[in-house]
Amino acid sequence: MAIFRPTARSGHLLNSHEQIFFHDLSSPSDHGGEELLEGLSAASKYISPKFFYDEYGSELFTEITQQPEYYLTKIETKLLRDHVDEISRLIGKDCVLIEYGSGSSTKIKILLDSLRPSIYAPLDISKEYLISASEMLATEYHWLTVNATCVDFTAEFDLPFRNEQRKVGFFPGSSIGNFEPAQAMTFLGRIRNQVGDGGSLLLGVDLQKDIDLLNAAYNDVAGVTRLFNLNVLQHINDSFGGNFVLENFEHEASYNVAQGCVQMFLISQIDQEIELAGQSIAIGAGERIHTENSYKYTVGQVQDMAEAAGFRDTLIWTDSQELFGLFYLTT
């Protein structure tokens, strides 16, 4: 088995025979510090959540999903297992299965086992994690063709391969909640265009619920979410030449009732000055750096957003407590 890299940033492949095809559509701006500088220089400092996902950050997130307080993954996985036969009948065989974010293999394996797609196309900003996950799946599923693309899929891009078979998007884990609502609708519109007429999207969404349950999920006793949040600073140090001292920050996460989302911050414990990309950034004691929103929706809000994004019909599966929803959107 081999991984083939494009000869140029255009994504053209060197070879079209082996099981894994690797496309690198990452741009210099994905790897530069301009976006970070802009966020850290703002009056209310922020870091985009996409910077969580270096290889270690991706591993930590997988560990988060295994914590007892983190109900999302357990419920979504059960919904997939309980309804995969129905989902497979709706989708049909030999589709192109596009996963937005190459996450833990548990959920994607449920679909691969049942759907047997002609192509599995994971998209992820973390090159190392993407390659590792693709190799693992290709080793286990010898019949599977993997078209893996390193890309910031939150931005507009074209799929780097052409295939006339039916396209199905898979966006699990309620990652749609990390977008601002208007951005989420725009992103769903991009997916609708990528899957095209006759395509569909299987979307996992965390629903609105008891505040204590939400706060516990983002403040696990083992402290894995804390490590995950702090690791974004280590990623900046390693990849962008920053000099953050992680011990000078602390994790904070709580549900904002007015905005309908869990918000995560890193709180500076001291007055400090950070160097990044040749610039100095002053951060005061108690100052917060916003790292993530995780919006929680009602079923009706998701349906409205999907319709506005250009999807026609919606099928919904939820658990008995209606904590989480699995939405099948068609064009």
- 75 and 168 assigned to the same domain: yes
Above pLDDT 90, what percent of the chain?
77
Q: Which is nearest to 230 in space by CA: 264, 279, 187?
A: 264
Give the orientation angle of helix 71-91 with respect to helix 105-115, to 10 degrees.
Answer: 20
* CATH code for the domain of 311: 3.40.50.150
Read off the tokens for 253. 């996460």
**H or E element, residue 51:** none
Q: Is the pLDDT of residue 59 over 70?
A: yes
Distance CA 213, CA 74 (A): 14
pLDDT of residue 32: 56
Distance CA 33, CA 36 (A): 5
- 175 and 320 assigned to the same domain: yes
Looking at the structure of the chain, the number of domains it has is 2
Distance CA 215, CA 164 (A): 44
What is the per-residue DSSP string for 70-138? -HHHHHHHHHHHHHHHHHHHHH-SS-EEEEES---HHHHHHHHHHH--SEEEEEES-HHHHHHHHHHHH
pLDDT of residue 104: 62
Question: How confident is the model over 121-156, as pLDDT tens digits?
Answer: 999 988 888 988 999 999 999 999 999 999 989 888
- 48 and 150 assigned to the same domain: no
The verdict on residue 266 lying in a domain is yes
CB under 8 Å to 155, separation ≥6 — which residues? none
Give the orientation angle of helix 224-240 with respect to helix 55-64, to 10 degrees.
Answer: 170
The verdict on residue 62 lying in a domain is no
Read off the tokens for 221. 């006793």
Distance CA 305, CA 227 (A): 33
pLDDT of residue 75: 97
- 193 and 105 assigned to the same domain: yes
Q: Is the pLDDT of residue 10 over 60?
A: no
Q: Is the pLDDT of residue 6 over 60?
A: no
Question: How confident is the model over 157-191, as pLDDT tens digits?
Answer: 988 888 788 999 999 999 999 999 999 999 999 99
- Kindly indicate the confidence band of residue 313, based on its pLDDT and cuts at 50, 70 and 90: confident
- 166 and 276 assigned to the same domain: no
Place of tokens 């290709």: 138
Strand pairing class (261-268; 288-295): antiparallel
pLDDT of residue 97: 97
The verdict on residue 218 lying in a domain is yes
Average pLDDT over residues 281-309: 97
Distance CA 273, CA 255 (A): 29
Q: Quote the radius of gyration of the chain (alpha carbons, Å).
A: 20
Q: Is the pLDDT of residue 30 over 80?
A: no
- Kindly indicate the confidence band of residue 28, based on its pLDDT and cuts at 50, 70 and 90: low
The verdict on residue 29 lying in a domain is no
pLDDT of residue 195: 96
- 282 and 190 assigned to the same domain: no
Q: Is the pLDDT of residue 17 over 50?
A: no
The verdict on residue 162 lying in a domain is yes
Q: Is the pLDDT of residue 105 over 80?
A: no
Distance CA 235, CA 233 (A): 5
- Kindly indicate the confidence band of residue 320, based on its pLDDT and cuts at 50, 70 and 90: very high
CB under 8 Å to 301, separation ≥6 — which residues? none
- 113 and 257 assigned to the same domain: no
Distance CA 202, CA 99 (A): 10
- 200 and 223 assigned to the same domain: no
Question: How confident is the model over 207-245, as pLDDT tens digits?
Answer: 999 999 999 999 999 999 999 999 999 999 999 999 999
The secondary structure of residue 199, as a DSSP letter, is -
- 47 and 147 assigned to the same domain: no
| Mean pLDDT score across all residues of the chain | 91
- 149 and 182 assigned to the same domain: yes
Question: How confident is the model over 64-80, as pLDDT tens digits?
Answer: 999 999 999 999 999 99
The verdict on residue 60 lying in a domain is no
Q: Which domain holds residue 250?
A: 34-55+211-295
Average pLDDT over residues 92-100: 94
- 238 and 164 assigned to the same domain: no
The answer to whether the CB of 40 falls within 8 A of the CB of 47 is: yes
- 215 and 103 assigned to the same domain: no
The verdict on residue 63 lying in a domain is no
